[in-house]
Amino acid sequence: MEKRNLHFFGNIASTVRDVPTALGTPWIYPWGAVRAYGTTAEGIFTFNEDDEMIAFTTDDREATTMDGKSEKVRWSAICGVYKEINGIRQPTELKAVWHYDEGDFTYFDAKAAMMSYDK
């Protein structure tokens, strides 16, 4: 499989491995790594039929429990409603979700999100 670099959300760099197109849509990349500010998280990228990233899911994030301990919990960034803004196609709806055994907890849910990019 060929590796290629993709850039999402400004300074977050990621690498995914291409998968055969016969898998159909949505496109699921079985491995990817996101690097930002010295931290790396490996996970699964999912793309829709328009090649828009609709989710990144990882088991590498740590959540702090009510008693102050850290534990790894599955986490997803969910993107949707893509629009072209200032010449860049980007999601305008973003969610961040912890997937606990007891059920999902959405702790960030933005509609009409705006992103800025360093030039």
The secondary structure of 68-116 as a DSSP string is: S-EEE-EEEEEEEEEEEETTEEEEEEEEEEEEETTEEEEEEEESS----
pLDDT over 90 at 31, yes or no: no
pLDDT digits (tens, 9 = 90+) for 41-79: 888 888 888 888 889 899 988 999 889 999 999 999 999
pTM of the model: 0.69
Domain assignment present for 92: yes
Residue 100 has pLDDT above 90, yes or no: yes
User: How many structural domains comprise the chain?
Assistant: 1
Q: What is the pLDDT of residue 2?
A: 37
49 within a domain of the structure (yes/no): yes
Q: Domain range for residue 98?
A: 3-110
Task: Decide if 116 is inside a domain.
Answer: no
* 3-state SS class at 21: helix
Tokens of 110: 């933005």
CB 91 within 8 A of CB 108: no
pLDDT digits (tens, 9 = 90+) for 87-97: 888 898 999 99
Strand, coil or helix: 23: helix
